[in-house]
Amino acid sequence: MKGDTKSPPGGGVKRERGLISLVGAGPGDPGLLTCRAVEVLERADVVLYDRLVDPAVLEYARQAERIYVGKRPEHHSMSQDEINALLVRRAAAGARVVRLKGGDPFVFGRGGEEALAAREAGVRFEVVPGITSALAAPAYAGVPVTHRELAAGVTVVTGHEDPEKLETQVDWARLAAAHETLVILMGMGRLAEITTMLTQHGRPSETPVAVIENGARASQRSLFATLQDVAERVREAGLSSPAVVVVGEVASLGETLAWVESRPLSGLRILVTRARAQAGELSRRLRAEGAEALEFPTIEIRPPAEYAPLDRALACLGEYAVVAFTSVNGVEAVLARLHEQFARDARAFAGCEIWAIGPKTAEALAAHGLRADFVPREYRAEALLAACKSVDLRGRRFLLPRADIARAALAEGLAERGAVVEQVDAYRTFAVGGAREAVLERLEAGTLDVVTFTSSSTVRNFVSQFSDEEVVRLRDAVVFASIGPITSETARELGVPPSIEASEYTLEGLVEALIAYHSGVPRD
């Protein structure tokens, strides 16, 4: 019958045929990843990724098997033929395979070779373009590769050709004679040779040159020189691969238009210890200010051990005078359970006052159609108690949906004022390991500057992963930053006293405190 489908032997749904997706991860900044790339990564079964792919990009493929196939000078974890064979083999078995490359897969990324291998094997493939570093790195260094008065075109070449080729395919003589901008990728190892060839073939020795190391990353460094002295200047500055070299008059604009390295947190390496689901927001804010955000979640949010106490409370919400939310997690857990178990929405809170600690908690409520009746100026339990000290709470029923390890200060303070308080676990906070080795590795390399704490649980779970000796080493090498006084108190008790504390106990306040500290501006 037309339109009829048959189940595969043994029943079940027929699996979609395998597919190879050649995906460009962009030049380094995770914010430059395309929407299509995110979509493909989220549904991937297997991801083969390169050395220059930012770890934050891989987070979109949390459910996938990840295989590192990166290449460093003189060291390849896997040959190109082996990569091609692996791609074909896994896709032929029905998997959705992503080949994730820095920049664009078809711009010196060997994506063409991998596409040909797929075609020859009869395996489906698609190409998801990425932003090439040939354009992005100069842009992040303030160098426009074209300009109406300085350059009418741009040529992109490789400085590292296939060593097995008998002769070069790059016509350096023609490039030297041309007037357009020349962008050289993978040329740092031959920079002196390349600049000599260009000058010998007629490009003026005073031609401006820009060298951008780690372009579009928080660790980006830019150097502006001329063909005559750039190789020596690069050696003196210690710049190395990966780097993009721009030759032409437009390079002279870099020193005027540079913007990335002037951002307030430029070059700062900051560890984010929030729960994985929430770390992204703080990381994005830090990256926007120029920092390198390193996500090492130390806590994980899970459902409560049992739903019965929460369900009993939600079944009779109208009997409470006040429902007090102390976190975004509490809001999301309660509203999700209310919908799933009782098929109810914000209308279930009719007749209740709603209190919220912190603007983010209030915003989370608003997203569900609930307006907080009361939000204290300071975002902690003590401030809420102080703000309502003139209110008669005797006999009023309070519901506090909270974490299993939440502080008892609010419940105890309300009870002392005569309120009838019911606390229920809306979610649990679990410790997550795995950060220790990565943190110690960065500590040894001197590539970690700040560790941020956004709650007492992040402090406890972070410190628990290290020995006393390692905590001392951390304390001597990095700065600790806290979101507020309660978190700071826990940090001091555990031997990691913060040098930075937000005056407004929010992510925005924490970022502002980091900026003030990094710039040396005194704070009130």
- Cα 287 to chain centroid, rounded: 8
Per-residue burial over 275-290, b if 16 or more Cβ lie within 10 Å, else e, is bbebbbebbebbbebb
Q: Which stretch of DSSP H or E encloses residue 36?
A: helix 35-42
Q: What pairs with residue 113 in β-bridges?
A: none
The encoded tokens of residue 437 equal 């080795």
Q: Which stretch of DSSP H or E encloses residue 284?
A: helix 276-288
Q: What pairs with residue 212 in β-bridges?
A: 222, 244
* Closest by CA position to 317, among listed 341, 289, 294: 341
Alpha-carbon distance 397 to 318, whole Å?
Answer: 10
Pairing state of beta strands 71-72 and 75-76? antiparallel
Alpha-carbon distance 386 to 405, whole Å?
Answer: 23
Angle at 196 (CA atoms; ends 194, 200), nearest 5 degrees:
120
Decide: residue 255, CB within 10 A, 0-12 exposed, 13-18 middle, 19+ buried.
middle
Please, how many CA atoms are within 13 Å of residue 519, restricted to the half-sphere of its CB?
A: 15
Say which DSSP state 26 is in: B
Which residues form the catalytic set? 50, 71
Alpha-carbon distance 381 to 186, whole Å?
Answer: 55
Alpha-carbon distance 365 to 380, whole Å?
Answer: 17
Alpha-carbon distance 52 to 503, whole Å?
Answer: 37
